[in-house]
Structure 1
Amino acid sequence: MLATGRGAGFRPQRDGVAAALDVLGDAVRRALGPGAAPPFADHVAAYVAGADFPEEEEALREAILSRGYGGRAAVGNDAFALLRAGARGPSGVAVVCGAGVNAVGASPDGRVSRFPALGRLSGDWGGGVLTARDPVLDGMVRRLLAERAPGAVPVVASVPPVAGAALLGLDALGAGGRAEARLREHFRAPA
C-alpha cells in the first residue's frame, strides 16, 4: 500500500456524476499530494455505493475514463468489494448494511445475482445501525442460512470493503497471492 486518502460522500444520484467524480479526484489528491494530476493509475478499481445498476456502473466507468483518472477502469457496487474482502474464492454472498441495504451473490461458475438498495421501492431501510457482530442480526442470518443453505458458513470480513476494492484491482492486474496477502495484512485490524 503506497498511500490512502479519504474524501466526502460519493453520491452520484444526489449530487450528479461530475460532482461524485470530483470527490473521487479530491480523495486521490489527499493520498498522492495536492499536485497530483491524472492519470492517477494504470487501472482504477472503483467499487462504490450508488452504483446499483449495470447502467450506472458503466456511466461512472466512462466518466472516470473520460477524466483520464486511469487507462483502464472497473466500476461496481460496493457490495462486490465487501464480497471480495470477505471471500477467499470467486463465490459467495455479501450483504452491505450501510446507508442502504444491498447484496450480491456470485456462484462458482460466474453467475451473479444482485439486490440493489433502492429505498422504499426495494424495502430498503438503511441497516447501518446494525453490524455483523450484532447478536440479533447474526442469529437471524445463521438461522436463515441453516434453513436455506446448510453448507454456507457466515464470515465477517477481516478487512474493510475498501480493501476488497483494492483486491479486485489486484485481481484485474494479475498481481497474485503475495500481493493479496500483503494488502490484507495492511488493512487487518490490530488485535
Structure 2
Amino acid sequence: MTGTVLAVDAGNSKTDVAVVTAEGRVVGTARGGGFRPPAVGVNTAVDKVEEAVRRAFAEAGVDSVSHVSACLANADLPVEEAELTEALQTRGWGSTVEVRNDTFAILRAGVAEPRGVAVVCGAGINCVGMLPDGRTARFPALGRISGDWGGGWGLAEEALWFAARADDGRGEPTALASALPAHFGLPSMPALIEALHLERFPLSRRHELTPVLFATAASGDAVARSLVDRLADEVVTMATVALTRLNLLTEETPVVLGGSVLAARHPLLDTAIRDRLSTRAPKATPTVVTAPPVMGAILLGLDSTKAGEQAKSQVRAHYNSPSPSGV
C-alpha cells in the first residue's frame, strides 16, 4: 500500500490512531489510553500505543504502512524526539517514522498548508510554528523551569494562591475565596485547603477550578480578571516570539489557538488575545481549531509522502472539518 500513512496523536489522557490511504481515505481507526513515558518508561508507553495501532491495522486490513506520522505528548526536546523515533522504528509499523510534539498536530489541523503558529493551552501551555521548508519554532514547554506560565493546571494553582491569601488577610479581597470552595460544596478556603492537602479529592479535580476562575472573572472580580489578562499576555507573547523567529511577523499568518482552555472561547480571554495580537502582530490571523488533533497528524503524514491536495481535502471531509482559507 504505497503512500499509506499511520497517524498517531498521543496525549497525556488518550491516544488516537488512524490508517489513511494515499488518496486520503481513512480505512482504520482506534483509540487507546494516555501516553506518559516519564511516568511508565518509553517502552511501556509505546506498548500502549501499539495496542491501538494493531486494532487500526486490523480494521484497515494491513500489517504495516509506508509512513508513520506520530505527534506525541512529552516529545518536548530533540533528545526525546530521537528516543521516541527509535522506539517506534523498532515496532516495524512503517518504512519511515517521523515524531513531533503533539502541538504540531493541532497546528496542522488548523492551517491550509504547513505554515503558521499554534498556541495550545490545555492542562499546560505550549507554542510551535512551522514553515513548508521544514523550519520550526518551538519552546521546551517543561513548566516553570523552562519559563512557562499558564495552562489549566497553572491557572488553578494561581487561583488557589490568591484565594487563600484573600481569606487569611495576606492578599487583596477576591470572590475566588468563596467561589473555589463552593465548587466542591465546602464552606470556606480553610476547608478546601484541608481537603486538598489530605487528598480527599483526586488531584485531577483541581482542573475543575479553571472554569470557576473564568466565571469569577466574568462577574467583574479584579483578581480573577488579572489572571485572565496575564494568560492573554502569555499566549500573545509566545505567538509573537514564534512569528518573529520564523520571519512571519510582517506577513499574513494564521495563529491557531487550541487546547481545552482556548477552545472554550471564554469571552474575556478570547477578546483580550485578539486585541493584544492586533497590536503586537497585526498581520496575524487568530483562529480557534476544533478539529481532532489526529487529523493534523494525518495531514503532516500526507505532507511527508507528497500527497496531493485532493487527498488532504478527503481527510478534512472525513472529519467534517472545513478547509482553512487558502486551500
Normalised by the length of structure 2, the TM-score is: 0.53
| Corresponding position of 2:276 | 144
CA contact (8 A) 1:102 1:117 kept: yes
The match for 1:156 among 261, 277, 288 is 288
Q: Is 1:91 aligned to 2:223, yes or no?
A: no
Instruction: Give the 3 Å change call, closer, same or farther, for CA 116–139 of structure 1 in structure 2.
Output: farther
The match for 1:2 among 17, 20, 27 is 27
Identity %: 51
Q: Is 1:29 aligned to 2:160, yes or no?
A: no
Instruction: Give the 3 Å change call, closer, same or farther, for CA 187–111 of structure 1 in structure 2.
Output: same
What is the rounded CA distance, in whole Å, between the counterparts of 1:57 and 1:69 in structure 2? 17
List aligned pairs for 1:1-191, cutoff 5 A: 1-33=26-58, 40-107=64-131, 110-121=134-145, 122-127=147-152, 130-132=261-263, 133-188=265-320
CA-to-aligned-CA distance 1:44-85 (integer Å, 9 cap, x gap)? 100111101111111111111112121100000011111111
**Which amino acid in 2 is paired with 1:28?**
V
**Which amino acid in 1 is paired with 2:261?**
L
**Which amino acid in 2 is paired with 1:53?**
L
Deviation of 1:40 after TM superposition, in Å, equals 2.8
Q: Secondary structure at the match of 1:2?
A: strand
Instruction: Give the 3 Å change call, closer, same or farther, for CA 176–155 of structure 1 in structure 2.
Output: same
Instruction: Give the 3 Å change call, closer, same or farther, for CA 156–48 of structure 1 in structure 2.
Output: same
Instruction: Give the 3 Å change call, closer, same or farther, for CA 144–116 of structure 1 in structure 2.
Output: farther
Instruction: Give the 3 Å change call, closer, same or farther, for CA 136–183 of structure 1 in structure 2.
Output: same
Q: Which is further off, 132-141 or 9-18? A: 132-141
CA contact (8 A) 1:48 1:76 kept: yes
CA contact (8 A) 2:32 2:49 kept: yes
What is the rounded CA distance, in whole Å, between the counterparts of 2:28 and 2:45 in structure 1? 21
CA-to-aligned-CA distance 1:98-152 (integer Å, 9 cap, x gap)? 2321110225665321123212323344336513322233122212211111011
- Higher RCO, 1 vs 2 (CA within 8 Å, ≥6 residues apart): 2
Q: Secondary structure at the match of 1:175?
A: coil
What is the rounded CA distance, in whole Å, between the counterparts of 1:109 and 1:165 in structure 2? 18
**Which amino acid in 2 is paired with 1:84?**
R
**Which amino acid in 2 is paired with 1:140?**
A
CA contact (8 A) 1:5 1:27 kept: yes
Q: Secondary structure at the match of 2:297?
A: helix
**Which amino acid in 1 is paired with 2:68?**
V
What is the rounded CA distance, in whole Å, between the counterparts of 1:107 and 1:189 in structure 2? 22
Q: Which is further off, 17-26 or 121-130? A: 121-130
**Which amino acid in 2 is paired with 1:170?**
L
What is the rounded CA distance, in whole Å, between the counterparts of 1:70 and 1:110 in structure 2? 21
What is the rounded CA distance, in whole Å, between the counterparts of 1:45 and 1:52 in structure 2? 16
**Which amino acid in 2 is paired with 1:45?**
S
Instruction: Give the 3 Å change call, closer, same or farther, for CA 33–108 of structure 1 in structure 2.
Output: closer
What is the rounded CA distance, in whole Å, between the counterparts of 2:134 and 2:67 in structure 1? 22
CA contact (8 A) 2:115 2:130 kept: yes
CA contact (8 A) 1:101 1:116 kept: no
| Corresponding position of 2:195 | none
